[in-house]
Structures are given as C-alpha cells and as structure tokens.
Amino acid sequence: MRTGLLTDVVGHRGAAAGAPENTLASLALAAEQGARMVEFDVKLTADGALILMHDETLERTTTGRGQVAETPLARIRELDAGAWRGPAWRHTPVPTLEEAVAILDERDLSANIEIKPCPGRDVETAEATVDLLRRAWPRHRPWPLLSSFSRASLAAARDRAPEIPRGLLLWGKPSDWSAAARSLGCLTVHCAQQHLTPEWAAEIGRLGYGLAAYTVNDPADAARLRGWGVDSIITDDPGALIAAGAGGRRRGFNGRRAL
C-alpha cells in the first residue's frame, strides 16, 4: 500500500474555522475548500468505541457533560456537537472513526489521525485505532499518518502495526526529540509554530524527517515557515491559505526528503 504522508496544506480538525471541529461536516468542508488532507483527533469512549474528539471532557464542543472516557457511545450519539457553533450547525453528531474513514474515501482525502488518549489509555487507544484501520481502511488508498504527543501511543502503534506511518507531535523542543522520533520509527515531526525556529527546522530536515507546523492561520506565517523548509502547514482555514498561495509552493513530504 502506498503512503502519502504529508500534503502542503492540512485542514486542522477538518476546517475548524468554518465548521464544528472534528465532525464529518468539518471534514467535508475542508475538501470543498481544496484541502487534500485533514487532521483530526481520536479518543475512546467508556465502552471502547473510537470517536472524533479533542478534549477529555464533553462540555466545550458538545451538549454533554463529563469525561469522554466515562461516557458510552450510545450516550455520546445523543449529543449535539454543532450547536455551540450556531443554529446552522445544530444536530451535528459526534462521528466515529469508521464514519470518518468512509467520508475520507468519498471525498478523496488523505488523513493525519492524531491519537489523543484520555489519561491512562495511551496503549489501548493506539491499539484500537490501528486495529480499526486494518479492518476498515480502504485498500486502494494510502495509509493515513498516525501522530501523537503520547510516546506510549506511538510505541503501541509501531508494535501493533509497523506498516502504518507515524509522526511525533511536539509542543516545545525536548532535548531527546530526535532520539524519540528515531526509536518510535517516526517519518514526520509536527511542531507548534510558536516554538519552531529556522535552525530547528533545518535540523529536522537534515535528519530526514518530514516537517509539519501547526496551527497556522496567517498566510504570512505560512510563507515564513515555507521559507524555513516546512513541508506541511496545518491550519483551521485551509481555503484561505490555499487561496493565498500557501499550498503548492513545496511538494508534500512522501517519505523521502529529496523532493
């Protein structure tokens, strides 16, 4: 199976500036805006179902309350994940990962799936994710890229499904970042734009990793990061960055540094 890895512009949680994040509507909007790849978060419910959700709790993005890890899928299915964005988005459901996979195939989207475990569920969430992908991912499509801040999740994904590519998510610059990326078998490194420097970007490139920067919504910032050698811009507003020319200046990273 081919691996697409990174594209120039990646829609963050779909197209989070224009639609409720981590919903099928947001993924579809990113495709309509011209994105070829989307990023979204996956978590486990109380009964082991994989859903698209960033937070450990339900309050911010749904009409529910409490911990995701303590709420069964049937209850989460009753929640509204769009009302907080306005009347136009009422009755938007929280999707499962399997539903997201179906719309990715329908819209011809690549994916960066962030494994976002609730506390203590790092290994369990990673293993459930790769097991579902092995079962449900369309065989004619390149594997998605799995990323995580959790090194335990990335190690579990590596051990369970070494064929599915991995990326290391970083906030700051830990002293052992390169050793961690190497030991986890990562092909990409994903850095917060506010902590990335030209020198660090160059180092990441010299070591052969694809480089993604998040979350970049200003076209001027995107242009600056491109100049540093960033392969992929992760943004809430893919349509705006594509219209401003943020896409197409570099070719996305495909597992080989020489592009």
Helix, strand, or coil here: 114? strand
Q: Is residue 59 part of a domain?
A: no
Strand pairing report for 166-170 and 188-192:
parallel
CATH at residue 157: 3.20.20.190
Q: Average the pLDDT over 167-178 and give the result.
A: 98
Q: Is residue 216 part of a domain?
A: yes
Q: Is residue 129 part of a domain?
A: yes
Q: Is residue 205 part of a domain?
A: yes
Question: Does the structure show a pLDDT above 50 at 1?
Answer: no
Task: List, in sequence order, every residue forming a beta bridge with 145; answer none if it has no partner.
Answer: 112
pLDDT tens, residue by residue, 52-110: 999 999 999 999 999 999 999 999 999 999 999 999 999 999 999 999 999 999 999 99
Q: Is residue 24 part of a domain?
A: yes
Q: Identify the pLDDT of residue 257.
A: 44
Question: Does the structure show a pLDDT above 70 at 213?
Answer: yes
Number of domains comprising the chain? 1
Catalytic residue status for 91:
no
Q: Whole-number mean pLDDT of the chain?
A: 94
Please list, in sequence order, all residues whose beta carbon lies within 8 angstroms of the beta carbon of residue 140, skipping any fewer than 6 positions away.
Answer: none
Look up residue 83 and give its DSSP letter: G
Q: Identify the pLDDT of residue 247.
A: 62
Q: Is residue 103 part of a domain?
A: no
Q: Which domain holds residue 113?
A: 9-44+108-243
Specify whether the CB–CB gap between 124 and 117 falls below 8 A. yes
Catalytic residue status for 12:
yes
Q: Is residue 102 part of a domain?
A: no
Strand pairing report for 188-192 and 210-214:
parallel
CA distance 166 to 251: 19
Query: Given 12, 91, 140, 190, which residue is catalytic?
Result: 12
Task: List, in sequence order, every residue forming a beta bridge with 226; answer none if it has no partner.
Answer: none
Of the pLDDT bands very low, low, confident and very high (cuts 50, 70, 90), residue 136 is very high
Q: Is residue 99 part of a domain?
A: no
Query: Given 54, 91, 140, 190, which residue is catalytic?
Result: 54
Predicted TM-score (pTM) of the model is 0.95
How many C-beta neighbours within 10 Å does residue 21 have?
Answer: 24
Integer CA distances (angstroms), 22 to 28, 113, 185, 221, in order? 11, 11, 27, 24
